[in-house]
């Protein structure tokens, strides 16, 4: 009987140790959860936006009066007079292969412009002929 009591005491002590280890494990788990919760909560940035900035960020609702549309329609096209005042620049390379020059097309000699245009047209015609 003595032997059975000793064995029973030994098993009870073993169960108590297992129970205390279980409680320590549960406490450790809860501590880890609390620590993680505080870390996540603490890492959140709290930004306060000024009310003036919120007002400025609201979308605009454009409203045009009907008198604006004829003005827009008139400005859509440019007259010949307006177009003639706009300069057109070309990058002109000399035939010797020198440095190119940015030149207003209205200031080029007429024979140079027409010869260049005719050579461009003849090269386009020859390339079209080779395609056929």
Per-residue pLDDT tens for 12-63? 788 778 888 888 889 999 999 999 999 888 888 777 888 888 888 887 777 7
Percent of the chain with pLDDT over 70: 76
pLDDT of residue 114: 58
Closest by CA position to 108, among listed 81, 123, 88: 88
pLDDT of residue 118: 56
CB atoms inside a 10 Å sphere around CB 92: 13
Query: What φ, ψ does residue 48 adopt, rounded to 5°?
Result: -105, 120
pTM (predicted TM-score): 0.30
CB atoms inside a 10 Å sphere around CB 25: 10
Tokens of residue 19, six digits: 């129970």
Q: Inform me whether the pLDDT recorded for 112 exceeds 70.
A: no
């Amino acid at each position: 009987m003595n032997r059975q009591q000793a064995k029973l005491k030994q098993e009870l002590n073993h169960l108590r140790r297992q129970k205390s280890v279980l409680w320590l494990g549960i406490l450790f788990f809860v501590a880890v959860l609390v620590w993680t919760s505080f870390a996540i909560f603490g890492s959140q940035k709290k930004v306060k936006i000024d009310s003036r900035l919120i007002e400025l960020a609201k979308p605009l609702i454009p409203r045009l009066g009907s008198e604006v549309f004829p003005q827009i329609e008139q400005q859509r096209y440019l007259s010949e007079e307006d177009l003639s005042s706009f300069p057109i620049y070309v990058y002109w390379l000399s035939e010797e292969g020198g440095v190119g020059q940015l030149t207003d097309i209205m200031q080029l000699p007429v024979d140079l412009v027409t010869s260049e245009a005719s050579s461009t047209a003849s090269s386009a015609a020859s390339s079209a002929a080779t395609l056929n």
